[in-house]
Amino acid sequence: MSRAQKTILVTQQLPSSVENRLSKNYVAILNHGDALTQEQILIQAHKADGLLVTVTDTVDSAFIGALPKRVKIIANFGVGYEHIDVEAAGRAGIVVTNTPGVLTEATADLALLLLLGAARRAGEGHVMMRAHAWRGWTPTAMVGHDVSGKRLGIVGLGRIGLAVARRARAFNMEIHYHNRHRRALEDEAGAHYHGTLESLLAVSDFLSLHAALTPQTRGLLNARTLALLPQGAVLVNTARGDLVDDEALVDALKNGRVAAAGLDVFSNEPHIHPSYARLDNAFLLPHLGSATTDTRNAMGFCALDNLDAFFAGEEPPHRVA
Ligand code: DGY
């Protein structure tokens, strides 16, 4: 059967150039309404040879077990794939792919935006201007924190972590990082390696999270670990909300242990912990890390490259299961 006869079920609306290419090469079942629920996907899945899912779809083992045998590949529109039970997919003989690399620069840009925004109180300032509440410049109004000369701790010096480090150096920050394995010297580019998270936290005036969400990293930042940060540290999270224990961070933001947080990702999105929205020192964005036209197109094309390779009988370039 040629590629044009294969059917791909898409769970959410994709950029139009991605949908156009998909529709040209496959029978595409598109969705321009709300994201499909698991039940809605399963109703249509008997027609599909592959699923194109996003980071908001829960592809757990019960769902995978209920998929018809016809479905042979799940192509994820996104790099993180903790929402997909890859072991269950493997057992079911379903290939899983993701889209690494193409969203590195956009996500790193956003991490710097959050870092600067949180440090310099940009969210508060924006809200004040919108409310017509500005009373004018004063020497003491809305003072924030310098980033220049400060230590930036990076948890997870992978593609995005490295791109954040490159940008932060231009802001004269000193880079520290923790990984399970030390990076090669040329990747470190002078960054200081910490063999334990605890050692990294102790020196992180700023901390930026770039670890994948796994059972080991869930709740990595909690009451115990947040207490290890220098007083008045700034936290940035563009990775996954579940890396952070919300109650502990809210307490740390309230008592000043953490001076400010720039958060783009949250547990239980889009239903964020209600206290964040009430805290002036929480600078919040709605999971915008990869949200640029070029990047979202590139993510879609990367997902399609995976599908194309698979249906051509080749190894998909970004196979994770
Ligand atoms: C991903 O690809 O995992 C991102 O969270 C999407 O922005």
Tell whether 318 is covered by a domain: no
Query: Residue 3: its pLDDT value, please?
Result: 76
- Shared domain check, 302 and 231: no
- Shared domain check, 279 and 223: yes
- Taking the CA of residue 299 as reference, the ligand 1 atom at the shortest distance is 2
Indicate which residue of 240, 257, 296, 318 is catalytic.
240
- CATH number at 266 reads 3.40.50.720
The sign of the CA dihedral 219, 201, 104, 73 is negative
Q: Check pLDDT > 60 for residue 92.
A: yes
Give per-residue pLDDT as tens, 172-182.
999 999 999 99
Read off the DSSP letter of residue 221: B
Task: Name which residue sits closest to atom 2 of ligand 1, judged by CA.
Answer: 78
Tell whether 198 is covered by a domain: yes
Domain residue limits at 177: 104-284
- Shared domain check, 258 and 123: yes
Query: Residue 290: its pLDDT value, please?
Result: 98
- Taking the CA of residue 240 as reference, the ligand 1 atom at the shortest distance is 5
User: Catalytic: 240?
Assistant: yes
Distance from the alpha carbon of residue 12 to the mean position of ligand 1, in angstroms: 14
Tell whether 84 is covered by a domain: yes
Distance from the alpha carbon of residue 142 to the mean position of ligand 1, in angstroms: 32
Query: Residue 1: its pLDDT value, please?
Result: 55
Indicate which residue of 19, 188, 269, 319 is catalytic.
269
Domain count of the chain? Answer: 2
- Shared domain check, 221 and 209: yes
- Shared domain check, 196 and 158: yes
User: Catalytic: 287?
Assistant: yes
Query: Residue 129: its pLDDT value, please?
Result: 98
- Shared domain check, 137 and 77: no
Tell whether 316 is covered by a domain: no
Give per-residue pLDDT as tens, 255-287.
999 999 999 999 999 999 999 999 999 999 999
User: Catalytic: 105?
Assistant: no
H or E element that contains 106: helix 104-119
Tell whether 40 is covered by a domain: yes
Q: Check pLDDT > 70 for residue 16.
A: yes
Tell whether 35 is covered by a domain: yes
Read off the DSSP letter of residue 129: H
What band does 4 get if pLDDT is binned at 50, 70 and 90?
confident
Distance from the alpha carbon of residue 159 to the mean position of ligand 1, in angstroms: 13
- Shared domain check, 244 and 166: yes
- Shared domain check, 83 and 13: yes
- Shared domain check, 199 and 69: no
Q: Which residues line ligand 1 (CB under 6 A)?
A: 55, 78-80, 103, 289-290
Q: Check pLDDT > 90 for residue 243.
A: yes
Tell whether 17 is covered by a domain: yes
Q: Check pLDDT > 80 for residue 2.
A: no
**Closest C-alpha to 306, from 55, 84, 53, 41:** 53
The amino acid that residue 255 corresponds to is N
**DSSP per position, 30-62:** ---SSPPPHHHHHHHHTT-SEEEEETTS-B-HH
- Shared domain check, 112 and 257: yes
Distance from the alpha carbon of residue 2 to the mean position of ligand 1, in angstroms: 31
- Taking the CA of residue 288 as reference, the ligand 1 atom at the shortest distance is 7
CB 28 within 8 A of CB 6: no
CB 146 within 8 A of CB 121: no
- Shared domain check, 280 and 305: no
Tell whether 183 is covered by a domain: yes
State mean pLDDT over 209-232.
98
Task: Name which residue sits closest to atom 3 of ligand 1, judged by CA.
Answer: 80
Query: Residue 23: its pLDDT value, please?
Result: 98
- Taking the CA of residue 99 as reference, the ligand 1 atom at the shortest distance is 2
- Mean pLDDT over all residues of the chain? 97
